Structures are given as C-alpha cells and as structure tokens.
Structure 1
C-alpha cells in the first residue's frame, strides 16, 4: 500500500521543514506540500527538506483556486499518487517520525476508509486545554445531530488519512469546515464502520487567539448544521468530488 502525504501550507516557514522531515522518515511514496501562494519561504524550506512542492495553481490549472484549506486538500488529492492520502498540518511543532505509519496501518483492514488521529491537545505550554473549537463548538453539535460520531476524539484534527479512492468520491468544503465535513460524509457514504482512529503523541501547534478562533468556530458550526439539514444555505463554496470533475 502506497501512501502520499499531503501538507497544505500557507506561510508556515517556521515549521514546515520539520513536518516534512518527520513524514519522510516513514518512507511514504511522496510528501506533497501544496503551497497556497505563500509570501514567505515556505516553499523553499519545504523543498530543501525533501518535499515535492506544488503551488496549488499548478494542480488542475484550468480551475482557479479559491481561498481555504479545503481547496489545498482537494488539489492535493488530485495530485497524489498513493493508494492512501495522509493529511498533516504544516504548523505542527510536535511532528515526529511514526505519524504516517500509525495513520496508514488501519488500512490493512479493507473496510477502513478514513483514519483520524487521537491525541491530547496542548494550550500555551500546558499539557491539556487545547482544541477549544473542537470542545466548545464541534462536539456539542456532533452530540446533538451526529451522536454516532461521538467516539471520534478529534473530529477537527488536521492529522488523518483517507483511501484516495474514497477521497475522490467526496466533496471538499473550501474552508475550515473541510475536516468535519469529510468525517460526516465518509460515515454517510461508507458507513460508521469505515472509520477508525489511532493514538499519536500530544499535538502541539500554534495556538490562535480567540478573535481568530471565533470565525473558525462559526464556519465549523455552520458546516455541521448544513450537513444535519438544519441550515439550508451552504456555508461557503465546496468542490465537487474529483471523480465527477474528471
């Protein structure tokens, strides 16, 4: 089973090289950094660390990029060669070898289509307390509308993997709602038994201030409510499944 690592990146020059090296230590078929027009040295640092760096405009060049993490993931799936695509955030400061191997191991079971990482989340140097949008926005709504998904500890976590064949069958929300939308859609399309999770060490990344978390929480909440059928208006744009695009 070949694994492609996809790292969406926008101005992450301080951390992207460490993330790339940690992923390469697990010998995936490729590590792709999808650079969303960074204005710093992100692309240079990632390439020097050994990644294949692709500007998002180079993937499906006839389709103009739209802002958002989901756009980078969608284009990464289109560019990837592996049987499994493993998404890793570029701002991790706790990236260590073993992440990719752990996330890809459950795919030995044919029914598994998506694997989420579970881990403690740090906050301002403390071992717990992170994941504020997860705990205060996502999980209450999941409990209300998708209780069958409550066993997933980190529904918004950026470290997870999908069979590429499954990823090509699912739509991708453009913005921060992409991770939870893929989780909900995968369970709906392939069944709850298609989901798995594996333990990773504590997740350390750049903790954002509340004024930055608030719009993220709003987007996540709207995405969940949309998937639940409560919100009739789509929470921003989304890309059609790649298998429909061609």
Structure 2
C-alpha cells in the first residue's frame, strides 16, 4: 500500500490548491504608494504592444500616466511598442504621454516578423526596467489597478518572478452581454491542454491573458514565440525554468 493511500483524505495536500491559496492575490491588495517604497531602487517598465488600437490605447496610457507616473511615481517607463499600425495608434499614444517605439526599429538586423511575440521580446531591448509589466492595448474599462495588481507580488514577495492576470470574461452573443461565460478558447483548449501536459499549471484561471509582469532576469532567460502563442508559451517556459512557486496570479476583477 502506498504512503498516500494510508494518509487520511483530510490530511492530503493538493499541490495545485496549495499553490493557488498562497500565490493568488487580489489587485486591491496592493496600493501604489506602498509599492513605490517596495521598489527599493528597482525600475519598473510598463509596455503596451499595440497594432491598430487608436480607439483604446490613448485612454489606457493617459490613465497610467496620470495615476502611476505623475500622482504616484511607481512607473519609470511607459512604452508603447507599435507593431506596424495602419491607423493613428502611434500618434494617439504619444499624445497621451507614452514613449512610442516602432517594432521594426528595434534590433533590425535580427529581422521583423508579424505577431505579438515579436513586439514583446523586442520591448525588452527597448526598455531598461528591472521589472516589466505587459498590458494589452485594446482593453476597455481600463483601471490602473491592473498594473499595481500585476506588479504587487513581484515587488513584495521574495522568490516571485512572474505574475499573470486573472479575471472574469463577459460573453457577447450578439444580442446581449452576459457577465461571465466568455473565453471559450481558454476553457475548451488552453486549460485542458495544460491539464494534460503541464498539470501543475491547472490553477491558472486565464493562461491566455495578455496582462502579466515579470522580472527582467526571468523574461530574458526564455524564448518568446513569434506569433500569438506567446502568452501561454511564456507561462510554460517560466514554469519549467523556475518552478511553480516562482509564479503567481492576481485577480484583476
């Protein structure tokens, strides 16, 4: 008889549940003012990869700049990586207060391929923060607490090198918008895939989320998929390099 079979059910440890309890946070757990003190000399970069997002990117940049650059000096660099936009994304982002970097201008000798992954890995060469947070530039109803939530565990919890956003996704069926039920690719493909091949990652609510942050040291140690598999690829590669306890998630609401 195995040791586990002799252990009462109530005493058995579920490693995924144990991780989820210890490494899942709420965005509201962290105040920007407290995180400024917790930086302890570290620099923070916030990056928005953007392609044809002129309708949303300006609002996000303006909110971040107002709250977390000017009111509270948490963000040291606020950068939009423009991935060959054909609209006014770059102009809108620049007017709102971001430094705009054209994806194709970063390390041009290494090429320039389409896809979010290219914008993300090149952003590491275009920034110098010790901690780097990535936020999608098409978010609506944006709250600067998204940034403070993602940065919180990295700045306050020793050993955490990566933090992934989690949230409920509304479902728009064309007739009405329901408060939950969206994210069918996540529920039907991504999470079952992880459960089979990387079961330790089953506790991540939104493995495909584009909102996450990491230490530069960790992010520079892994490859970035060139296309749109980058979000889940980063999660898997960091897990294999640093282990589950170095990863966290934060409930952004």
Q: Do they fold alike, i.e. is TM over 0.5?
A: yes
> Corresponding residue for 2:56?
15
> Corresponding residue for 1:5?
46
Is this contact kept in 2: 1:115–1:196, CA < 8 A?
A: yes
> Corresponding residue for 1:83?
130
> Corresponding residue for 2:33?
none
Query: What is the number of equivalent residue pairs in this alignment?
Result: 201
Give the distance between the partners of 2:151 and 2:163, measured in 1 at CA: 8
Is this contact kept in 2: 1:86–1:161, CA < 8 A?
A: yes
Which of 79, 82, 86 matches 1:32? 79
Is this contact kept in 2: 1:26–1:98, CA < 8 A?
A: no
CA RMSD, 1 decimal:
1.1
Residue 129 (1) aligns with residue 170 (2)? no
> Corresponding residue for 2:27?
none
Which of 167, 171, 188 matches 2:223? 171
Tell which has more relative contact order, 1 or 2 (C-alpha 8 A, sep 6+). 2
> Corresponding residue for 1:213?
none
- Please report how far the alpha carbon of residue 179 of structure 1 lies from its aligned counterpart in structure 2 after TM superposition: 0.6
Residue 159 (1) aligns with residue 211 (2)? yes
Give the distance between the partners of 1:51 and 1:159, measured in 2 at CA: 18
In our comparison, the structure showing a higher alpha carbon Rg is 2
Give the distance between the partners of 1:78 and 1:131, measured in 2 at CA: 32
Give the distance between the partners of 1:159 and 1:18, measured in 2 at CA: 17
Give the distance between the partners of 2:55 and 2:194, measured in 1 at CA: 34
- Please report how far the alpha carbon of residue 72 of structure 1 lies from its aligned counterpart in structure 2 after TM superposition: 0.3
Give the distance between the partners of 1:71 and 1:130, measured in 2 at CA: 27
Secondary structure in 2 matching 1:172: coil
Give the distance between the partners of 2:141 and 2:171, measured in 1 at CA: 13
Deviates more, 1:84-93 or 1:120-129: 120-129
Deviations 1:112-132 (A, max 9, x none): 011011111112232112112
Give the distance between the partners of 1:20 and 1:132, measured in 2 at CA: 29
Counterpart mapping for 1:23-172 below 5 A:
23-24=64-65, 25-27=67-69, 28-107=75-154, 108-124=156-172, 125-172=177-224
Secondary structure in 2 matching 1:38: coil
- Please report how far the alpha carbon of residue 13 of structure 1 lies from its aligned counterpart in structure 2 after TM superposition: 0.7
